[in-house]
Amino acid sequence: MNPVIAEPVTVLVSMLSHYAYCPRRCALMFVEQTYEDNEYTLRGQAVHENVDEPGWVQREGQRIERALLVWHDELGLQGKCDVVVFRDDGTPYPVEYKSGKRGYKRADDIQLCAQAMCLEAMFGKPVHEGAIYYHSSRRRRNVTFDEPLRQLTLRTIEQVRQLLETMRIPPPVNDHRCPNCSVVGLCLPEAVASLRQHTDDRDLYALQEE
Ligand code: SF4
């Protein structure tokens, strides 16, 4: 009988930015499947509505695709690009739309880099750069997919896959990221952190008593 080889768990590109923002947020959303809208996510959805409808246009000799599904079989990665501009020579240039002025830069970059890796695998062209477009400031930030960013993206893919496989919920970071977080109402970072501190204190006290 042939041994059963387990398929690697598929990681969604969108999970990467949530994990890079806070691993607990990614776990609450995709392991616990709890999700709560707040003003930031609602604004984000409104921005994405403009680019969520698949389609394409030809402009100045360049093909511009909206809501393009992308994947990378080897990495077990799937996702969607808001916009991909195909240069004259066919090289893809991904653009991700964000609702805020400037989000959590590293998380945005990882998400975009993962999209670029998928596009490279699909179209066989190296993708060296892309851009994040911040809707409220109407500014575009170019991102170069250099080796450190690629390595960070690969590490994040593996970390998310581990999270999905183990289904463990990490502890709260309980810092400046929490007030703007979409799942703060479910996460209760302060309450959980104080409970953990209380438990640690009690364990320490019990050790001292032994
Ligand atoms: S509220 Fe804070 S700890 Fe909880 S998921 Fe969000 S960022 Fe992470």
Give the 3-state DSSP-derived string for the chain, with helices as H, strands as E and coil as C: CCCCCCCCCCEEHHHHHHHHHCHHHHHHHHCCCCCCCCHHHHHHHHHHHCCCCCEEEEECCEEEEEEEEEEECCCCEEEEEEEEEECCCCCEEEEEEECCCCCCHHHHHHHHHHHHHHHHHHHCCCCCEEEEEECCCCEEEEEECCHHHHHHHHHHHHHHHHHHHHCCCCCCCCCCCHHHCCCHHHHCHHHHHHHHHHHHHHHHHHHHHC
In the predicted structure, residue 99 carries a pLDDT above the cut 90:
no
Q: Which amino acid is at 110?
A: I
Q: What is the per-residue pLDDT across 116-140, written as a single tens digit (0 to 9) for each? A: 999 999 999 999 999 999 888 888 9
Q: What is the pTM of this model?
A: 0.84
Q: What is the per-residue pLDDT across 43-80, written as a single tens digit (0 to 9) for each? A: 556 556 666 777 888 888 899 999 999 999 999 999 99
Identify the residue whose C-alpha is closest to ligand 1 atom 5: 25
Identify the residue whose C-alpha is closest to ligand 1 atom 4: 187
Q: Check pocket membership of 107 for ligand 1, CB cut-off 6 A.
A: no
Identify the residue whose C-alpha is closest to ligand 1 atom 2: 178
Name the residue with tokens 């640690």. Answer: 200
Domain ranges of the chain: 11-169
Mean pLDDT of 140-168: 96
| Domain formed by 11-169, architecture | Alpha-Beta Complex (3.90)
Q: Which amino acid is at 118?
A: C
pLDDT of residue 208: 58
Percent of the chain whose pLDDT exceeds 90: 59
Ligand 1: distance of its center to the CA of 148 in Å? 26
Nearest atom in ligand 1 to the alpha carbon of residue 22 is 8
